[in-house]
Amino acid sequence: MMSALTRREALTAGFGTVLLPATLSAQPAAKPPEFKIGVTTFLSGPASVFGVPSRKACEMLVEQINAAGGVAGVPLRPFFVDEGPGTDHLVGEFRRLVQSEGVHAMLQSISSGSCLACTPLSRELQKLTILWDCGTQRIFEENRWEYAFRTQGYGTPEILAPLLYLLKTKPNFRTVAVINQDYAWGRDSWELWKAGMDALKPGVRVVAEMFPRFGSTDFSTEITRLLALRPDVILSTSWGGELVTFVRQATERRLHERSTFVLPVAEASLPTLGRSMPEGHIIGTRGDHWNNHPAPANPELFNGLVNSYRQRYNEWPIYPVHHMAQALWALKAGVEKAVAAKGGAWPSDLDMANAFRGLSFPTPTSTITLREDGQGLEDQIVGLSSFNDRFPFAVPKEMMLFPGAQVSAPVGQVSTNWLKTLTPAMIQSAGRSI
């Protein structure tokens, strides 16, 4: 989700240049005594609120997978890298893990900037790379990667699903304002929202576009302006401490009584907000893995993940926990598929990468399929904030599930262009109540 690189910086770093190797060799490989994985996540800085739970999940799940026989009979061994020091550090660590530690696969990253910087290394180093959390739509829309795959959804469905929910449940809004963090995710997500809104409900007036400095702790100026403008809808794709601070400061001044909040990535902040989150506002969960999912595909597996994490760490799992689980389950499914295709022999790096294209793997809530371009199709849950006796913080009610294929741009299409082709007829057919 978070991006440390601007579009220009990413292109300067080489992301926009396609350099296809002349040949991609598949050298025979010996079965290793352990399957080494590099895992990049935020262990320091503001995004550690996502990164630390993901590391906890990885450690727990690796133990469980190894206790059950590992991956194709080989135990997993993780090597963790902190994204906090920045992309230069991360690129260096990616290289070190592949070239010096001999990792067999990389699981990267939370930051979209990290993914933009590191994904080209998957081609250069010819190493299986799983994008386990970052949300930028540009990864697979601006290039094609032989060794890189994303095992969850991305920015386009995470924005389109809440927009459709708003249009289905509160369709009479005429004005909207945005308050997003001033960096690539904040601006890119607004671009996605506006493209979809203009196509699905033409004529909505944008009364304010506000992008406070990243890391802001005082939103009094923006809230004063919003109180004066009285927009029907306030969109914020902010996350972490900034979203918590904005919501608390806004509710103290009763802004939520004048406008409907749409918070597409709010799920991870709800435990911190506690009772400060107002009821009746639209919240997204960055997938279909919410802890009170009313109809998971595999209730036993779902409850096992949620309960084992709670018992071990005394906290509810937020979406990075589920995304890490999806990446590890995909890794196991893909490698074992590659081993089976080799008749039990150990696959090469290219063999493993080839096994991931078109891979379908079960999750506790659904089945995720990796498309031919490497992008995973993940369903999206959206609902209204509410309180009940089970949770000490707001949870979604009146939930709708939006299938990943329905809210994701088709292979080969740029999200902002595809969103512009949508018609209001989609509103009625999109999603279903759960």
Pick the CATH number of 156-285+379-433 from 3.40.120.10, 3.50.50.60, 3.40.50.1370, 3.40.50.2300: 3.40.50.2300
Q: Give the Cα-Cα-Cα angle 123, 125, 128 (nearest 5 degrees).
A: 70
Tell me which residue of 204, 412, 182 sits closest to 193, measured CA to CA. Answer: 204
Query: What CATH number is given for 7-153+298-370 in this structure?
Result: 3.40.50.2300
CATH 3.40.50.2300: which residues of the chain?
7-153+298-370, 156-285+379-433
Q: How far apart are CA 91 and CA 15, in angstroms?
A: 13
Q: How far apart are CA 90 and CA 5, in angstroms?
A: 13
CB 83 within 8 A of CB 47: yes
The residue with tokens 């979809």 is: 196
Q: How far apart are CA 251 and CA 215, in angstroms?
A: 20
Contacts of 202 (CB under 8 A, 6+ apart): none
Q: Please report, as a single letter, which amino acid is at residue 232.
A: D
Q: How far apart are CA 140 and CA 51, in angstroms?
A: 23
| Structure confidence at residue 364 (pLDDT) | 87
For residue 262, how many other CB atoms are within 10 A of its CB?
26
Distance of CA 169 to the CA centre of its chain: 25
| Structure confidence at residue 105 (pLDDT) | 98
Q: Spell out the per-residue pLDDT of the chain, length 434, in tens.
A: 444 333 333 333 333 333 333 334 445 578 999 999 999 999 998 889 889 999 999 999 999 999 999 999 999 999 999 999 999 999 999 999 999 999 999 999 998 889 999 999 999 999 999 999 998 999 999 999 999 999 999 999 999 999 999 999 999 999 999 999 988 789 989 999 999 999 999 999 999 999 999 889 999 999 999 999 999 999 999 988 889 999 999 999 999 999 999 999 999 899 999 999 999 999 999 999 877 788 899 999 999 999 999 999 999 999 999 999 999 999 999 999 999 999 999 999 999 999 999 999 999 899 999 999 999 999 999 999 999 998 999 999 999 999 999 999 999 999 999 999 999 999 999 999 99
Phi, psi of 91 (to 5 degrees): -60, -45
Q: How far apart are CA 415 and CA 191, in angstroms?
A: 10
